Every structure is written in structure tokens, then in C-alpha cells.
Structure 1
Amino acid sequence: MSEGAGETHDVLSDAGFLPVPSNNNSKQPSLENLKEKGGHVETEHKLVDLPDDVDQKLQNISVSLEPPDGGLRAWLVVLGAMASTFTTFGYVNAWGVFQEYYQQNTLKDSTPSNIAWIGSIQYALVFLPGLPIGRLFDLGYFRSILLAASALLILATFLIPECKEYWQFLLCQGLATGLACGAFFGPVTAVLAMWFKKRRSLALGLFATGSSIGGTVIPIAIKNLIPVIGFTWTVRIVGFILLAGLVLANLALKRRVPAAAHSEGVFNLQMFKPFRTPAFTVYCLSSFFIYLGFYTLLTYVSVTATSIGISESFSFYLVSIANASSGVGRVWAGLCGDKIGAMNVLVPFTALTGVMTCIWPFMRSNGALVAVVVLYGFSSGSYGALVSVPVIETLEQGDAGRDLGRRIGLLMTFLACGGLLGPPLSGIVFKTRGVEAMGIYAGCMIIFGVVLMCIPRFLVLKRRRNRGFPSNWVLSKV
């Protein structure tokens, strides 16, 4: 069956004009068959009469499936997306303040590495549930996912002050918080893709900016509130802030396109169908290597700052400076991504992230270290904003957006593995070879990931050329 005929059949099925076949071997009618049979179509199930105004209805369906790329409702969805990432990624990015407090107070009998596992599990679980959550999104679940994740995050946050033992913190702040935050990213990204196409990069850039705002504001608030009102009420105030953000997110976020009919269930081999596309597979591999070194600077920059004589009070703000700079980078990347292509922004600026990671341990003055942190934040923000755009757009092959949840979930699985292994591996290099070797190792991992990222760009341009579209290897929008 031709590609055009297949799309026609999908639209008819979604509109309720045709029954959905029970298996992939069912014979599906083509557009030509519809015309030849003059108003009805014969399938293996039964004879289905088509309405007289089928052409007009098909045209209306086509228009309704096209993203509006603006309007009050669409921008409210962006606002809700920013609120969601503020309360999830922004909150998770505040872990460094909790680590410092636990080492000095509640968990002072535990080793720093054991305490750090709470944060590592939290970071990993932000991405790891992406595949099953994405599959549930493709099956039509969205509102229930948001409500359940919101309730779990609020409950876990308010239970943190009640924790006394290490395993209690591990359950509440590691597992529960990580799982709750991880339920948001994939579905919210897919929903934004339903509302925006021409401005998709900008929408995703603004979405990612919420995490930068949260990663800047929440750590500073915690750092300054603990000496005044104590740890217990500080966490409760953070909980109320998260509650307000989550209420806004649940009210503003809305799915625009209904889910397509699926009969495969949640877990099956069809989940891995996107790996049949070489460009998609290589892009996911590149994200794994990039994330092996991506968080190393943020994790260890305070250590290097104090070692060259910078006060501990100022070194704390270096992470906030990086997060604030990344917010600017995310918006800028979104604007440029819509004009010149996401891959054309990702490749050079992620490479700059790798270079900054390599040279950061060699900075020996306050000004130089701040400059590197600002450049790192700006360039890394570009990757954080656009990392999912190639999966949604450039590498999409005829699925009409129906597998967005699955595609994004597979990508998030690779990001989770890289994010989980990255800081501990960098820590091993730090312990055995020193901070300079750690910086070079982490930076080279990022640069190697960028090299891999160039391969899917080449494959996409090659496919365009094979289809007869003129493509410039350097200047084409990808």
C-alpha cells in the first residue's frame, strides 16, 4: 500500500469511518479502492458505508490535526509546561543544598558518597520511567499520569522533614521524588509537540527554561531559609511552592490530539520499533555519551572553586550562575532552532559544552572560573532545550506523531543511563587521577557524543538527496 493511501486509511480510522484492523496482516483499503467502490469500502470485518460528505470531513480532520503554533490556549500549555519543569527538574537541581545539609547534620554519620546516591537515583529516575510512561501516553493516558505524579511529589516532599534514617531519605527523596518528576518530562514534551510545529523549538526552549528558573531560585531559597526558620519549615515552604506550580501545570496542560487506537498493550517488542531507523539509534547513543560528562562540571565545580581560594559562600552560587545562564541559552536555542534547525544548534553548542568541561579545572582565578561557568551554562542550556526535537521532527518517518511518547521514552532511557553512570565515573577519575584528568575525561565524552550526533544529521540529509530534494551538507536546515 502506498504511503498516501496508508495515511488516508489512518485518518478514516481515527474519524470512526473505518474499523481498526485486529492485526497487522489485515488487508487495508487504499484511496483508489474507496473511489472505485463509490461510497463504501469492503474490509475483512464488514462492509462500511462512508458518509456523503466524507471529503469535507477528511479536510476538516486534516486541518484540526495541524498544530496551531500559537493562540491563547497553546501559550497556556507552554506556561503549564514551564510550571511543570520548574517543580520537577528545578527541584531536582537543588539537590546540592540538601547534600551539604545532610553531610553536616541529619546524616553526618553517613559517607558523602552514600548520601550522593540519593541524588544520583533522583537524577536517574527523572529520565528512566520515560519508556513505560511514554507508552502509556501513546495509549491515551495523560491527565491521570499528571495527577498521580503530582500527588506523589507533594507527599514525598512533605515527608522529607519527618525522615530520620538514611533509608527513609532514600525512599522519599530518592525513589519517590525521582519517579514523580520522571512522569512529567516525556508526556509534557509530547503535548507541546501537538500544539507547535513551526515554533516547536521555541516552545520546548521555554519549557526547559522552567528548570533553569527552578534550579536558580530553589537552592538560593533553601540556603537562606534554613538558618532563619530551620530545615523542617524550609522544606514545607518548598512543598507549598511545588504545590502551587503543580496546580498551575495540571490546569494549563491539555492534550490536543486524541490517542490513536492501539492493541499491543504497554510492553511489547513494538516498543523498540524506532530502533529500525539508524539515525534514531545513533542519536540515542550520542545522548548517552554526552550525558556521561554533562553533569560533571555542575557536580564538582564547587570543589575546584574552594581549592583555588574562592570562599564557600560564593562557590555555592556558581551552580546558580550556571543555571541562570542556561535559562538564557534555552530561550536562545529555541529561537534559533526554529530558524536554522535543531541539529544545527545542538552540534556546535554541545561541542562548546565539552570544551568548557575540559578547561574548567585549569581555571585559577575568580573571573576565569565565572566566565567558564557562564559559557558552560549557556551552551549546555541549548542541549537541554532541544535534545528531544530531532526525535520529534528530524528523525520522524511517517508515524504522524502517534509514537511520540515511545520515541521520547526511548531517548530518555539513554539519558538516564548516562546521567546515572556519569558523575560516579567522573568521581572515580577524580579520585585516582585528579580534577584535571576528570575534566578532560568528561569533556571528551561530550565531544565524542557530538561526533556521533553528526551521523544522524548526515543520514537525514542523505535521505533528502535520495528523494530528490537539494540539500547542502553544511547550510541545510536539520
Structure 2
Amino acid sequence: MYPETKRSTMVLGATTAAAAHEKVYKKSGEPIVVEVKPVPLASGDAEDEIAPLQEGNEPPPDGGLRAWMVVFGAFCSSFTTFGYINAWGVFQAFYEQNILRNEPGSTIAWIGSVQYSLLFLPGLIVGRLFDLGYFRVNLIWASLLLVLSIILVPECKVYWHFVLCQGFATGIAAGTIFGPCIAIVTQWFNKRRGLALGLFTTGSAAGGTVIPITVRTLLPRIGFPWTMRVLGLIVAVVQLMAILTLKRRTPPGQTSSGGFLSFGCFKSAPYSVYCLSTFTVFLGFYTLLTYVTTTATSLGLPENISFYFVAISNASSGLGRIFAGLVADRYGALNVMIPLTAICGFMTYAWPFAKTEGQLIAICIIYGFCTGSYAALIPGPVIPMGDLKQVGHRIGIMLTLLAFGGLLGPPVSGRVYSVYGLKPMGFFAGSMILFGVTLMCVARVLLSRKK
């Protein structure tokens, strides 16, 4: 029989953010040997939002009440950020016909483009801050700024007021909230990650459906100022639910050897090509959503019908997001994204040739389904391309590059429309999407070779 072995536990104080693990062995006639290995915990902006270290070292739970509450909170944030910005087509048409009717449509489109781009552009900074533990404080101040920017829109009188308020303020607030939500969801799910991301991004479809209908219903009844105040109240309530339910699972990572911002991830060829593909796709991605209401009105369709095309497309995208999430867990994100995004490009080609209400509705449904699938899975291929504790940084870089495509796409398309007409605009936007699909295929081949 071996002599009795005594085990003791030594834990350093929580205020020093450290723990100790030790092994104590005792042999007959020999002194006690103690081995202590301190494990530091990186400090964040709030201790209560960091789960225990042991939990962070375990595989994601892939379910459970806490995990699904996080998905619900992310859904709410997607509703108030991506969903509100997806409704821009309604505001584009309203401004062209009312407040900013003296401005060209391509000029007005810059307001929406600034929103789209800033939804992703801050990702490089906020993603790195998320990795270092700064999440909740950013979530709170950005939520306040988002609500404030919405209720101040009616006070805008000239074009540059709208650019600052509904463009920059809304975009910065939404971008600070949206990117880290992707990283949080990935911390709680692995095998069911596609489904979780699909449900999370369904919030944008819900917001993009509810908000245009709300605006269209309230405008003739209570006017533009009070319509925006009601929207501000809706966003405030939904975003409060997000603040109460979002919580990170793993402890923050450490600053990489490259400093606060590191671009070492571009050493990976699949990652680099994939990032370039997102930029290219987004050069044409939002063109249909931005201009479908305006072009439908120009075809002679009733205004009360034209306003609902954005809502129809966004509602369909919700189904696409759920479908993509379910299928991607089985077949892989890129394998699902490539064919569905290609269909999105073909629908953009077909859009200018639609002449009737039924044809436009059919195109919006198919287009919305496919764009929803793509949007739901954008971060999917990036997640396994490195350490999970650095996922916020990798996603942030990708979102920043993607943002420039979202910034340039609608105004350039609008310029093509004003100079050459609707069909060349559809050809330009559809070609950009299909070129992005080609790059995704290249990334897929490079990734398979790497494995």
C-alpha cells in the first residue's frame, strides 16, 4: 500500500484576479512538497460579466437557459441595429419625396451608406476591446447614443444634419453594439453555432420588417417627428432587454505580441481571400434594398404598395437566416453561402426587368431569403481560423473591410442609375456580388488544401 497522500488547496485572493493549483505529495519520512502555479485572469471593465475561469476552459455548452438567453439578447441587439439600418429604403423614399426632395437620390443614399458602413467599420476597434474584456460599458453607452440619434432625427432640417445624426451617430452606435454580439454568441455555441448565429441575425430581419411597417403606418397619422419618437421608444425597450441578457462566457484574452492591433491573421491565405470577398459582395449587397422602393414608384406602382417591398424582403430574409443556420451546422458555412449568394446576384440582375407588382414581390422574396442566409453566416468561416479568445479581433478586421464595400456600394449604384439607368445599375450590383462569390470559392479551395 502506498502511504496516505494529503491534498490541500491554496487559492489567492479574488481581488488579485488569480487562482492557484497545487499538488501536495507526502512520502514516509520526507518533507511536504508543494507546487504552486498561479494563473492570472485578465481584468475587464466589469468583473461580474466574466464567467469563472474553469467554465471558460470547458467546451461551449451548445445550449441551456443561459446560452439561449444570450442568443435572445443578441437577437434584440440585431433588431435595433441591423434591423433599423435595413429599413433605410423607406427613409430613402420618404426623404426623396419630402424633406430632401431637392437633393439627388444618389446624394441622399450616402446617409444610408454611412449607416451601413459604420455598422461594421468600428469592428476592428470594438472587436479588440471585446477580446480584452471591455464589452458592457461599450454596450451601454452605444445603446444610449442609438436611442438619442433616432429621436433627434426630426430636429434635422438640412442634408448635413441627417448625415451627422442618422448617418454617423446611428452607425457608430450600431457598430459598437453589433460586432461584439457575434463574438459573444460564438463563445456559447460550437456544434450548434450555425443555428445560434442564424437565430441571432434573425433579429435584423424582424427589425427590418417591423420598422418599415411601423413608419408607413404612423407617418400619415401622427407625422414624422412623433413617428421617430415612437421608434426611439421601441429601440430603447428592446435594447434594454439586450443589456440585461448578454454576457460573455470566457475570460478576456491578452494583447497579442503585435500590440493592440495586430494583422498577423492575414498570414492565412483563406482568411485574406475571404475578407476580400465580403468587401466585394457588399459593393452590390444593399443596392436592391436601397432603391427598390424608389424604382417601384417610378414604374407606376401605388406608393402604399411600394413602401412594403423593403419589409417583404426583410421578412423573407428571416426565413433565410434560420434555414442557413440549420443547414450550415451540417454542411459547413461556405458550402451554404456560395450557392445562395450567387442566387442573390442573379436576382439583382433580374430586378430591373420586373414590370409588375407580382414580379417585384417574387424577386424581393427570393433576394431576401438569399441575402439573409449570407448575412447570417458571414462570421462563420472566420471563427475556426484561429484562437477563440482572439475571435473578436478577427471578426472585427473582416467587418472593417466589409464596411468599405457597404459605404461605397449604394452611392456608386445610385450614380450609375442616374447616369445610365436602372438596368446598368442592376448589372453593376449583381456583378459585384458574383465576383465576391468567386472569391468565396477560392477561399473554400484554399481552406480545404490547408486541412
Normalising by the smaller structure, the TM-score range is: 0.7 to 0.9
1:353 aligns with 2:324: no
Tell me, in whole angstroms, the C-alpha distance in 2 between the residues paired with 1:89 and 1:119: 12
Q: Secondary structure at the match of 1:305?
A: helix
1:292-320 C-alpha deviation (Å, 9 max, x unpaired)? 11111112223432344322221221111
Q: Would the aligned equivalents of 1:329 and 1:378 in 2 still touch at CA under 8 Å? A: yes
Aligned-partner Cα distance in 2 for 1:90–1:455: 31
Q: 1:15 to 1:346 in 2, by over 3 A?
A: farther
Any conservation in 2 of the 1:130–1:410 contact (CA below 8 Å)? yes
Cα distance in 1, alignment partners of residues 164 and 132 from structure 2: 29
Name the residue aligned to 2:263: 272
**Counterparts of 1:163-178 in structure 2 under 5 Å?**
163-178=156-171
Structure 2 portions without partners, runs of 5+: 1-16, 22-31, 39-52
Shift of 1:283: 0.2
- The corresponding residue for 2:304 is 313
Is 1:332 matched up with 2:323?
A: yes
Is 1:39–1:50's contact at 8 Å kept on the other side of the alignment? no
C-alpha separation in 2, matches of 1:113 and 1:360: 19
Percent same amino acid at aligned positions? 55
Q: 1:233: how far off?
A: 1.3
1:231 counterpart (204, 224, 227)? 224
Alpha-carbon distance in structure 1 between the residues aligned to 2:183 and 2:153: 31
Is 1:151 aligned to residue 138 of structure 2? no
Q: Secondary structure at the match of 1:284?
A: helix
For the residue of structure 2 that corresponds to 1:120, the secondary structure is: helix
* 1:39–1:150 distance in 2 versus 1, CA, 3 Å: farther
CA distance in 1, matches of 2:238, 2:81: 10
Q: What letter corresponds to residue 316 of structure 2 in structure 1?
A: S
Structure 1 counterpart of 2:131, from 123, 126, 138: 138
Partner of 1:402: 389
Letter in 1 for 2:402: L
Shift of the 310–247 alpha-carbon distance from structure 1 to 2, 3 Å rule, reads same
Question: 1:102: how far off?
Answer: 3.0
Does 2:364 correspond to 1:373?
yes
Q: CA, structure 1 residues 430+166, in 2 after alignment: closer, same or farther (shift >3 Å)?
A: closer
Deviation at 1:159, TM superposition (A): 1.8
> Where do residues 102-113 of structure 1 align in structure 2 (5 Å cutoff)?
102-113=95-106
Normalising to structure 2: TM-score of the pair? 0.86
Q: Determine if the alignment matches structure 1 residue 342 to structure 2 residue 333.
A: yes
CA shift digits 1:224-268 (9 cap, x unpaired): 111111212111111110010110000010011010232769744
Give the number of aligned pairs: 411
Task: Quote the Cα distance in structure 1 between the aligned partners of 2:75 and 2:239.
Answer: 10
Letter in 1 for 2:267: R
Change beyond 3 A, Cα 1:207–1:228: same
Q: Partners in 1 of 2:302 and 2:57 — Cα distance?
A: 57
**Correspondence 1:121 to 2:114:** yes
Would the alpha carbon gap of residues 427 and 132 (structure 1) be closer, same or farther in structure 2, given more than 3 Å must change? same
Q: Does 1:450 align with 2:441?
A: no
Report the counterpart of residue 182 of structure 1 in structure 2.
Answer: 175
Amino acid of the structure 2 residue aligned with 1:184: I
| Distance in 2 of aligned mates of 1:266 and 1:313 | 54
C-alpha distance 425-308 of structure 1, shift in aligned 2 (>3 A)? same
Counterpart of 2:263 in 1: which secondary structure? helix
SS of alignment partner, residue 403 of structure 1: helix
Q: Give the equivalent residue in structure 2 for 1:211.
A: 204
The Cα of 1:435 is off from its aligned counterpart by 1.4
Give the TM-score, by structure 1 length.
0.81
In structure 2, C-alpha distance between the alignment counterparts of 1:137 and 1:237, rounded to whole Å: 31
What CA distance in whole angstroms lies between the structure 2 residues aligned with 1:177 and 1:329? Answer: 26
**CA deviations over 1:138-190 (Å, ceiling 9, x no partner):** 11101011001011111212222223333322221111111000001211000
Return 5+ residue gaps in structure 1 as ranges.
1-13, 19-37, 41-47, 52-59, 465-478
CA contact (8 A) 1:135 1:266 kept: no
Alignment match, 1:363: 354
CA distance in 2, matches of 1:161, 1:438: 31
Does the 8 Å contact 2:340/2:370 carry over to 1? yes
The CA distance in 2 between the partners of 1:277 and 1:191, in whole Å, is 23
Deviation digits for residues 363-422 of structure 1 (CA, Å, limit 9, x no counterpart): 2233222212111111111100001100012xx13x2x0111111111111210111111
Distance in 2 between residues matched to 1:246 and 1:96, nearest whole Å: 22
- 1:362 Cα shift? 1.5
User: 1: CA distance between counterparts of 2:281 and 2:79?
Assistant: 23
Match of residue 24 from structure 2: none
Change (3 A) 1:263 1:431: closer
Q: 1:388 to 1:136 in 2, by over 3 A?
A: same
Cα distance change of structure 1 residues 159 and 368 upon mapping to structure 2, 3 Å threshold: closer
Measure the CA separation in 2 of the matches of 1:234 and 1:128: 28
From 410, 414, 423, the counterpart of 1:423: 410
Alignment partner of 2:395: what SS?
helix
Return the letter of the residue paired with 1:66. Answer: P
DSSP 3-state at the match of 1:106:
coil
Partner residue of 1:391? 382
Q: How has the CA–CA distance of structure 1 residues 453 and 327 changed in structure 2, closer, same or farther, with 3 Å as cutoff?
A: same
Residue in structure 2 matched with residue 462 of structure 1 by the alignment: 449
CA distance in structure 1 between the partners assigned to 2:223 and 2:184 by the alignment? 39
Task: Deviation per CA, 1:198-223: give whole Å up to 9, x if none.
Answer: 11011110111100010011111111
1:90 aligns to 2:90 (yes or no):
no
Say yes or no: does 1:196 pair with 2:189.
Answer: yes
| Paired AA for residue 427 in structure 2 | I
* Deviation, structure 1 residue 454: 1.0
Tell me which residue corresponds to 1:414: 401
Quote the offset at 1:101 in angstroms.
3.1
Q: How does 1:51-70 map to 2 (within 5 A)?
A: 61=54, 64-70=57-63
1:82-115 CA distance string (max 9 Å, x none): 1001011111122233233333443344443333
Q: What is the match of residue 469 of structure 1? A: none
- 1:21-46 deviations in whole A, cap 9, x for unaligned? xxxxxxxxxxxxxxxxx988xxxxxx
Residues 1:274 and 1:448: Cα distance change in structure 2 (over 3 Å): same
* Distance (whole Å) between structure 1 residues aligned to residue 260 and residue 295 of structure 2: 45
